[in-house]
Amino acid sequence: MRKERRERLEIIYDILRIIVSHGNSILPTPLLRLSNLSTQNFNRYMAELIEKGFVREVFDEDGKKYYTLTDKGFKFIQKYNKIREFIEEFGL
């Protein structure tokens, strides 16, 4: 049996949630692996999330890149959770 594909907003939520669950700082490779996306799709989503101000790239003193959420990213998670609660409450 084939699992249903995730919708765009669900993928965005999953990416943001993964970052938060790792102390709001995660390297690209583990995030890619945990997001369960192809490299091409992952790069496309990350570019959009950075461009729209949900995520920012932070570099440590060794030049390693990490992703962290912005306030806007945290707000998206809160609003998305409210929408999910509404849908579940009314059985939609």
pLDDT tens per residue across all 92 residues of the chain: 445 678 999 999 999 999 999 999 999 999 999 999 999 999 999 999 999 999 999 999 999 999 999 999 999 999 999 999 998 998 87
Does a structural domain hold residue 26?
Answer: yes
In a domain, 3, yes or no: no
- Is residue 22 situated within a structural domain? yes
- Is 1 inside any structural domain? no
- In a domain, residue 58? The reply is yes
pLDDT for position 1:
46
Q: How many folded domains does the chain comprise?
A: 1
In terms of residue numbers, what domain contains 51?
Answer: 8-89
70 in any annotated domain: yes
How many whole angstroms separate alpha carbon 1 and alpha carbon 61? Answer: 47
Task: Report yes or no on 27 lying in a domain.
Answer: yes
| Spatial contact of 71 and 77, defined as CB atoms under 8 Å apart | no
> How does 43-69 read in b/e, with b if 16+ C-beta sit within 10 Å?
eebbeebeeeebbeeeeeeeeeebbbb
pLDDT digits (tens, 9 = 90+) for 1-21: 445 678 999 999 999 999 999
CATH code for the domain of 44: 1.10.10.10
What pLDDT score does 5 carry? Answer: 72
Residue 2 falls within a domain, yes or no?
no
Taking CA atoms, 20 is separated from 2, 73, 74, in Å, by 29, 10, 8
